[in-house]
Chains A and B, each alone.
Chain A
Amino acid sequence: MFRPEEMTKVSLVSSKGMLRKVVEQLYDMKLLHIDEFKKADGYFDLGRPFAEVAGYSEQLIKLRSMISYFKISSTPKEVKDLSDAKIKLNYLNKETTELIDKINNLRSEDARLNEVLSNPVITLEFNKKHLNLRSIVPFVGTVKKKFLEQMEGKDYEIVKKEMNSTVAIALFVPKKEADEVRKLLDKYGFTQYPIPDMGYGKASDVLKDVQKELADATSELEKTKKSNRQFLIDYEYTLQQLVEKDEAPLRFAASSRAFVATGWIPAKKKAEFESQITKITCNKVALYYGEAGHDAPIALENPKPAKPFEFLLDLFTLPRYGEIDPTFIFLITFPLFFGFMLGDVGYGIAVLALTFLVQKIFPPGMKPIFNIVRIAAVATIAFGFVFGEFFGLEFIEHPLLNRMHDINTMLLISAVMGAVHLNLGLALGFINEARMHGIKKAIFAKGSWYVIETGIVSLGLGAVMFNSLVLQIIGAAMLLPGIIMLYKGEGIKGVVELPTLLSNTLSYMRLFAIGLASVALAVVINESAIGLIQQGGMMVVLAVLILVMGHFINLLLGVMGAFLHALRLHYVEFFTKFFEGGGNKYTPFGSVKKWR
């Protein structure tokens, strides 16, 4: 429970003839977490992948590009007939590539035609031959309407079509007067347009054809996607497994005749592992076992209620092998902190109901979070009774604790909870150190904190409560050896950390502060609504609106705040006392990972 699952290191040696059988068996057993062989100058070399792998990889690339183009997903099944699937894939790939090319061409043609149609000079009708005359300069484009007034009385050939604020013109000017006209045109905002290669009627006809073809091609592609969705997903899944198997020898050490596969298996599965491997190889295998070191993979092992909290550890970092797994402590302290912060019967029930309502919208990977929030919501309801609050209303006249008024008591409780939590962390740190580096190091590195704490408490009690000089002297006398021990245990780094005793404890005051903010907001919402209800009439509707919206927003803020701050107290204040982390997750060979 407080340790990751025990692992055994295993080396499997056999002749290369057995390689295929062993790989298949290992894949099906899903037990061995392979320790990848790294080539060094020595007798062994990397193993060679099986020959099929190149073909598979090529097909995987095709498959994955299609899957990501189609943006499809589904639950995969194994494909049985591989040669059939290969032919089907090649055909499909060719067909869709052609279709996609066609669609892309049609799209650019569509864009080009739209541009042609929006060209303002397309409707002007003039003799195209005039464009190529040497003695005449053509101006084709748009210009402000005022320009036409300038043209009155002049003898140029002009074709025009009025538009909203401008006019489209085709103006033909004798060469020697061209410069003059150009200046005039510039003055009236002339924009030149290219002369389209087809008329308006023809262009719109072509566009219609293109659009129809585009629609056909798109629907054909959609049909291909729909009818082959499951096939693509299944085949990708199957090939991925095959590739993983085929590439497995790359992770083993190999000599010319034999291979060595090294890795870890859960200690309790040792007998099962051994019997199956020897059976499949007809006893032509040598197995060597060893102690798992600090680099062993981590499989967390916790009772069912604590399972969801493994997610929070995974989010941060997994413990190293041999280190304490704090998941179970999360199960107790996380809901405690969360409940203490949110602490409202109404909010607790609402959160509980909301988790059941909205869970379906979220991906299944979020499930642990919902379970955590549910446990925390129950704690919220419990603390709601302690504080006597229901949506900010005091439904118990004299609750055990009143968060709005018993400020000093609440601060004290927060600090005490913090002190207990921190000392629990130090105690876990002591156990960790003792296991990893021996009892002496543990006493110096973690025990010293207890000495210093006792010193401070004794000093404080002597000065403030009992007014006893003896207590003060004892306290002060304990501080010095405590600090020296700490210096021996953790070096100057430990001594620098000393002020964190104060700052960490104060940090737990947030347990109270966040709660206070949430209650204060709830009370404000309630009071403004009550004020409106007393006015009566339409104001009652507004009041209900304020109540619903206000409490909903406050609830969201409260849940998010309480969750993150409870998490932070664990990650920052608690974990720094004992947790190192950095372990690798136990992912046995054969457990399929998703590439997306």
Chain B
Amino acid sequence: MVDLGSSIVALSAGIAIAGAALAAAWAEKEIGTAAIGAMAEKEETFGKGLILTVIPETIVIFGLIVAILIIGKM
């Protein structure tokens, strides 16, 4: 049986990633829709659209690092 302390640590790490991932997903949804819209008008905007769409992905990486730091405290 895992003790309460470690389970809370594990749970917090999970929340750190989940929150960051949700935030990134939300942001990417907004940008991605707009980018597709722009692409429908002008196909050359694909490169720019792709970049703008993936920018929020970094948020998840932050979440992951925070999670790793939390796990490290175990």
Contacts and interface: CB of A to CB of B under 8 A. Distances in A.
B65 interface: yes
A568 B57 contact: yes
Contacts of B60: 513
B58 interface: yes
Given A407-B68, A411-B68, A513-B64, A506 B47 contact: no
Given A315-B46, A407-B68, A411-B68, A513 B61 contact: yes
Interface string B16-33: 000000000000000000
Interface in A381-427: 407, 411
Given A506-B62, A507-B58, A507-B61, 13 more contacts: A315-B46, A316-B51, A317-B48, A503-B58, A509-B61, A513-B60, A513-B64, A567-B50, A568-B51, A568-B54, A568-B57, A571-B50, A572-B55
A564 interface: yes
A506 B46 contact: no
A281 B11 CA distance: 82
A513 B62 CA distance: 11
A270 interface: no
Contact of B47 (A317, A411, A503, A564): A317
Most buried by A among B51, B60, B61, B64: B61
B54 A572 contact: yes
A568 B68 CA distance: 23
A330 B54 CA distance: 19
A160 interface: no
Contact of B57 (A315, A316, A317, A510): A510
29 contacts: A315-B47, A316-B47, A316-B48, A316-B51, A317-B48, A407-B68, A411-B65, A506-B58, A506-B62, A507-B58, A509-B61, A509-B64, A509-B65, A510-B57, A510-B58, A510-B61, A513-B60, A513-B61, A513-B64, A565-B57, A567-B50, A568-B50, A568-B51, A568-B54, A568-B57, A571-B47, A571-B50, A571-B51, A572-B54
Contacts, number: 40
Q: Nearest 3 A-B pairs (CB), nearest first?
A: A316-B47, A507-B58, A568-B54
Contacts of A567: 50
Contacts of A411: 65, 68
A594 to B, nearest CB: 15
B74 to A, nearest CB: 13
Interface of B: 46-48, 50-51, 54-55, 57-58, 60-62, 64-65, 68
A152 B57 CA distance: 77
SS of A interface (majority): helix
Contacts of B55: 572
B65 A572 contact: no
Contacts of B57: 510, 565, 568
Nearest to B68: A407
Chain A interface category by residue count: 10 to 19
A564 B54 contact: yes
Interface in A540-569: 564-565, 567-568
Nearest to A312: B47
B54 A506 contact: no
A567 B61 CA distance: 16
A565 B48 CA distance: 15
A407 B60 CA distance: 17
Contacts of A507: 58, 61
B46 to A, nearest CB: 7
Contacts of B61: 506-507, 509-510, 513
A153 B68 CA distance: 90
Most buried by A among B54, B57, B58, B62: B58
A198 to B, nearest CB: 49
Nearest to A573: B58
A507 B62 CA distance: 8
Contacts of B54: 564, 568, 572
A407 B69 CA distance: 11
B51 A506 contact: no
A567 B54 CA distance: 10
Nearest to A575: B51
Interface string A175-219: 000000000000000000000000000000000000000000000
A567 B53 CA distance: 13
Contacts of A316: 47-48, 51
A568 B48 CA distance: 11
Nearest to B62: A506
A564 B55 CA distance: 12
B47 to A, nearest CB: 4
Contacts of B47: 315-317, 571
Nearest to A572: B51
A503 B64 CA distance: 13
A334 to B, nearest CB: 15
Nearest to B55: A572
Nearest to A509: B61
Interface string A490-525: 000000000000010011011001000000000000
